[in-house]
């Protein structure tokens, strides 16, 4: 992302990720995320935009079935880089 992140959108993204983490491993629908974050229908488009940006950065996964609504989302496990393994010689 080249543009600066709006602090409010960052706050919404943190709340969305927290709601998905609380429900882990079960996915949540978009309306359920709106309810859990307290934004409801008034900020529904904002929540959806935040979810699509999080999906673009591979922090959440969008789960859809053809021709069905609502869309479900789940948080992806963060990639953790581990240090290389070292083998100790036997004494």
User: What are the Cα distances from residue 75, in Å, to 8, 17, 38, 84, 91?
Assistant: 20, 7, 19, 27, 45
Q: 1.10.3720.10, 1.10.10.10, 1.10.150.120, 3.40.50.720: which CATH number matches 7-75?
A: 1.10.10.10
Strand pairing report for 60-63 and 28-29: unpaired
Q: What is the pLDDT of residues 60-77, one digit of tens each?
A: 999 988 887 788 999 987
Instruction: Tell me the per-residue pLDDT of 28-38, one tens digit each, with 9 for 90 and over.
Output: 999 999 999 99
For the chain, what are the domain ranges?
A: 7-75
pTM of the model: 0.74
Residue 35 has a CB neighbour count (10 Å cut-off) of 14
């Amino acid at each position: 992302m080249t543009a600066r992140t709006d602090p409010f959108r960052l706050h919404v993204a943190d709340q969305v990720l927290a709601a998905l983490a609380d429900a882990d491993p079960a996915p949540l629908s978009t309306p359920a995320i709106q309810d859990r974050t307290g934004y409801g229908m008034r900020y529904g488009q904002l929540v959806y935009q935040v979810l699509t940006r999080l999906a673009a950065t591979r922090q959440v996964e969008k789960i859809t079935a053809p021709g069905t609504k609502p869309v479900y989302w789940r948080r992806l496990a963060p990639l953790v880089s581990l240090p290389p393994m070292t083998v100790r010689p036997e004494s």
